[in-house]
Structure 1
Amino acid sequence: MSSLQDLLAQRAEIEKKIADVQREERATAINKVRAMMAEFGLTAADIAGKAPVVRAASAAKPASKVAAKYRNAATGESWTGRGLQPKWLKAALAAGAKIEDFTI
């Protein structure tokens, strides 16, 4: 009967052999795929089934900045009025100020 240490050593040896064979088979498969891609002039996009995206020049507009609508005169911080209110404005409104006081 084999000891636990012998069995563990055998398992480690087998796992190493399995990893080596998997690595070799993977490399062989990759080489076959690359050869076929070169033979037929295929790209990764062709393989994935995705057509290349062609965008018109007008679709590539740069994002424009939005002008600030509210400004804290004390600190110079500003807010466009979009999204969540900034902390400085929330604090001022909670203290009794009106949003119109900060309008630019």
Structure 2
Amino acid sequence: MERYRDLLAQKEQLEELIAEAHKKEAAAALERVREAVADFGFTPEDVFGKRRKDAGVAVAPKYRNPETGETWSGRGRAPHWIKDQDLERFRITE
């Protein structure tokens, strides 16, 4: 049992050292990034790419489950109630 407790204590010490090293290296990396941005005049779009204008915009539903009233826009993964079905059965016509 003594060996187990010793190992747990070592593990705790290592986790502290890992966290400290991560913090220091992250700070150094961030400083290098800031220097590069300042030196070269990078913009957020240069670094992260352009955000689509329609990102996060809700899309009108195209399909409705007649039993529950649930809707689906036709984007993303199909819900279970429409999966492997004829989409035209569920199309919203207005």
Query: What is the TM-score of this pair, normalised by structure 1?
Result: 0.45
Larger radius of gyration: 1
